[in-house]
Amino acid sequence: MIHEEAVQPSGDAHDLLSASEGTETQAAFEAPLRGVLSPLAMRNLTLKNRVLRSSISGRFDHEDGTPTQTRLNWETLSAEGGVGAIITSYVPVLMSGRIIAGYATIHEDRLIEPWSDIARAVHNYGTKMIMQLSHSGRQMDVPGVQNLHQSTLSSTDRPESLHGFPTRAMTISEIEHMVHAFARAAWRAREAGMDGVELHAANGYLFSQFLSSGINDRRDRYGGSLFNRARFLLDVIRAIRAEVGSSFHLQVKLSAIDLNDVIPGERRGNSLDESIEVARWVETAGADALHVSIGSLFPHPLNPPGDFAFNTIASTYDAMLSSGEHTFRNYLFFRYPTLRPLFALLWNRMKRGRPVEGVSAAEALAIKRAVGIPVISTGGWQTRSAIDSRIEAGHFDAVAIARGLIANPDLVRHWEAGLEVPPRPCTHCNKCLLNAPKNPLGCYEPSRFDGDPDRMIEAIMRIYRVSSELVVPHE
């Protein structure tokens, strides 16, 4: 049993909201709900607004995959702030699929109970909860003891391109076992009280390793043509529908464009037209919504968009040095200022001409025009008018936000108060992401705390405030 402890908004946001409570209440009463604040009705799920906390995680959990009080605090933080739904942090369906040790899983029935505590806590705020079912494939940053010295599973024998994580191509029987694992994980999510599941088929994880022509080099029925490369994902969707029926919400996160050649020597991967075709097949197979991202690896210059904080990654990347054959090379680029411009030149070349906020909005629109189910756009969103105008124009139906809600968990409250952006908006510095392999998850941009490190650490550590009571066996 996880015992819930409320986590309060950061001091600055809490003070601002409290000071203007009367004005906000009046504004909310007078202004009809529109755009991003209006409800969203999908086939099997209705959200109170069109903001989904996107999946992002820290090392919150036990080594055996059991969620903790810190996990509950994290998943409820943005629910308290008013979002319509929480997409859980990346949840592996097997222990072989963890990105980083310390992430909660859903690979065994014993995990239903702790996840049900978390779902109940999120529901207390009128927020829906969608579990993101995932497998790292070859994109495993920190293996942990269960995966130590083992090659990761993938569509290919070729190592992951950025870090050089070792991998091997899955056999047909392993693919069939994986399909079953996803279906059972969806059943466990439903039994835990989740309102739906999301398949993470984007950003370089296992599904995209099969989907992408830049990665998948198989010669069997799971490789070659676009339909063959999509077969694994479609098999999983159909298996989930057979396991939980047609009335349980199921959405799929896709990369609209791979841009896999961000790493020199790699093939470009899937085009937008190919992803549109996959989106149509996914809808036909039984998906209720699509979540549109970009990029065939994570991180990618366009996901998450924004800056690359060299000083931050130079101090945290050593946690990954033993994981891949390219990690030492990368560490030299990050550690030494004379080498950083070369990495920046290669990394940033795909950003030209693209905004940070709404980096893949055009791709979301293209997919929206091709399907009949709701489309969720992700990519740096935090300005209400920018989101409202696109929702009202039919470009997409909702937004998924991660970094903007790390910076301001009560972002929705600011919009409800009539603000375009919060007083201290996310700077898209990406220090939250680059700290994650080694340090607690949170906002590490000092300018948002007026340069006060104590306030910054206090905000980061708020979700880690748990009961200090220890349980002594046999007492």
Structure tokens at 449: 């705390």
Sign of the CA dihedral running 453, 459, 463, 467: positive
Please compute, for residue 151, the number of CA atoms within 13 A of its CA located in the half-sphere on the CB side.
13
Q: How many Cβ atoms are within 10 Å of 434's Cβ, its own excluded?
A: 24
* Count of other CB atoms within 10 angstroms of residue 332: 12
Count Cβ atoms below 10 Å from residue 299 Cβ, excluding itself. 17
What is the rounded CA–CA span in Å between residue 10 and residue 188? 34
Angle between helices 172-191 and 112-123 in degrees, nearest 10: 50
- The first and second tokens of residue 312, run together, are 């931050």
Tell me whether strands 249-255 and 152-154 are parallel, antiparallel or unpaired: unpaired
Whose CA is closest to 89, among 360, 463, 470, 344? 463
Q: Which of 90, 103, 205, 222 is catalytic?
A: 205
DSSP 67: -
300 forms bridges with which residues in the sheet? 303
Pairing mode of beta strands 46-47, 40-41: antiparallel
Q: Is the peptide bond before 304 cis (omega within 30 degrees of 0)?
A: yes
Half-sphere exposure of 168 (CA within 13 A, CB side): 8
Type of residue at 242: A
Is 431:445 a contact under the CB 8 Å cutoff? Answer: yes
Kindly tell me the number of DSSP H helices and DSSP E strands found in the chain: 17, 13
Task: Based on the residue annotation, tell me whether 205 is a catalytic residue of this protein.
Answer: yes
Give the Cα separation of 98 and 105 in Å (integer). Answer: 8
Structure tokens at 457: 């650490």
Residues 6 or more apart in contact with residue 22 via CB below 8 angstroms: none
Active site residues per annotation: 205
